[in-house]
Amino acid sequence: MRLYSLLAAAKINLYLEIIGSRPDGFHELVMVMQSVDLCDRITVRSIGSEEIRLRCDQPDLPTDERNLAQQAAQLMVQKYPEGMARWGGAEITLEKRIPVGAGLAGGSADAAATLSGLNLLWELGLTQGELQVLGAELGSDVPFAIVGGCAIATGRGERLDSLVSLDGLYAVLAKYQNLSVSTPWAYQTYREAFGNTYLNDAARIEARRHQVHAGEMVAAISHHDGPAMAQFLHNDLEKVVLPAYPQVAELKQRMAAAGGLGTLMSGSGPTLFTLTTSQAEAETIATQVRSQITDPNLGLWITRFASTGIRLNPER
């Protein structure tokens, strides 16, 4: 039986700045993204019939075209019908470990793994760059999810420059399992509150991009300096998400007070993370936060910075 099993990593945003509005209605962003080793598991398996079947272990996620993995598979069928004609259809199985609607881009990770998996299954020989171009059709975070590691992302988030991935850093992730934040809501609310501060001419947007590129956060990463990097953690979306979700704002305070290098919300939230330089320190922080917040909905994960987005699962 032909089968590939892949691991698809979640990402955190070490930096997220909204610099303007784009003619296509999206925001012009500068982000620093980092993969962490909290992974969904995706298996793609050849089946005789010419169809795509998606199965998922999380019953509240749809398996039809609303699922990004299904959208990714349909895109591959449309662009490379010869793959399915030669090798048959595929059954795709998602084992979700990345929380949904969390600001960790789990859906994008699944789409990235589906593109990579079908590329292998159908022996298409697409390069990582070609997979990223396909991924950009599915969502702004998909190109990063394919390559992973650490990167500065501009445009809608799909234009990437790789940075060195900082080895040996850990992130304690915290999220109330019963709480998710809609990404469109977060950006729309930000636009209503701060749209008047947006840069609106191309030259100033380009200049700001360059400033961040040449700025302290990227310099700290280039110097492998975790503590310096933590000083420049920043996420504009905290300005709208934390006031609207006081429970998350309070959790951020507790996380920050528990220690570590720095605490920030990832993407549009509500996941928060605290960076540490050791697993032991990450465990101490998680234990302390757990002892202070008895809500059984609070999920805590200890993750390590990862240097890849999609990789073969060594356990299968």
Catalytic residue selected from 40, 141, 236, 252: 141
Structure tokens at 39: 């992974």
Residue entry with tokens 């590939």: 4
189: enclosing H helix or E strand: helix 183-194
Structure tokens at 51: 């169809």
Task: Give the x/- contact pattern for ligand ATP in 169-208, rule: CB under 6 A.
Answer: --------------x-------------------------
Q: Which residue is nearest to ligand ATP (CB)?
A: 107
Q: How far apart are CA 207 and CA 28, in angstroms?
A: 13
141 counts as catalytic: yes
Task: Report in angstroms how near the CB of residue 228 gets to ligand ATP at its nearest.
Answer: 27
User: 3-state DSSP call for residue 146?
Assistant: helix
Answer for which of 141, 158, 238, 281 binds ligand ATP (CB under 6 A) is 141
Residue 165 sits in the site that holds ligand ATP (CB under 6 A):
no
11 counts as catalytic: yes
Task: Give the x/- contact pattern for ligand ATP in 266-305, rule: CB under 6 A.
Answer: -xx-------------------------------------
DSSP at 269: S
Q: How far apart are CA 229 and CA 208, in angstroms?
A: 19
Asked if 269 and 263 touch (Cβ cutoff 8 Å), the reply is no
Residue type, 164: V
CB nearer ligand ATP, residue 146 or residue 220: 146
How many residues bind ligand ATP (CB under 6 A)? The answer is 19
The closest of 70, 74, 38 to 174, measured between CA atoms, is: 38
Task: Report in angstroms how near the CB of residue 111 gets to ligand ATP at its nearest.
Answer: 7
Q: How far apart are CA 126 and CA 118, in angstroms?
A: 10
Task: Report in angstroms how near the CB of residue 123 gets to ligand ATP at its nearest.
Answer: 25
Name the CA radius of gyration of the chain, rounded: 19
Asked if 283 and 308 touch (Cβ cutoff 8 Å), the reply is no
Query: Could you say which residues in the range 50-109 bind ligand ATP, by CB under 6 A?
Result: 61, 66-69, 100-108
Task: Report in angstroms how near the CB of residue 106 gets to ligand ATP at its nearest.
Answer: 4
Tell me the sheet residues that pair with 92: 44, 54
Asked if 17 and 211 touch (Cβ cutoff 8 Å), the reply is no
Task: Report in angstroms how near the CB of residue 8 gets to ligand ATP at its nearest.
Answer: 9
Tell me the sheet residues that pair with 161: 152
Task: Report in angstroms how near the CB of residue 93 gets to ligand ATP at its nearest.
Answer: 12
CB nearer ligand ATP, residue 101 or residue 155: 101
Answer for which of 17, 28, 110, 236 binds ligand ATP (CB under 6 A) is 110
Q: Give the list of residues 6+ apart from residue 228 with CB closer than 8 angstroms, or none.
A: 216, 219, 220
Q: Could you list the residues that contact ligand ATP (CB under 6 A)? A: 61, 66-69, 100-108, 110, 141, 183, 267-268
Residues noted as catalytic: 11, 141
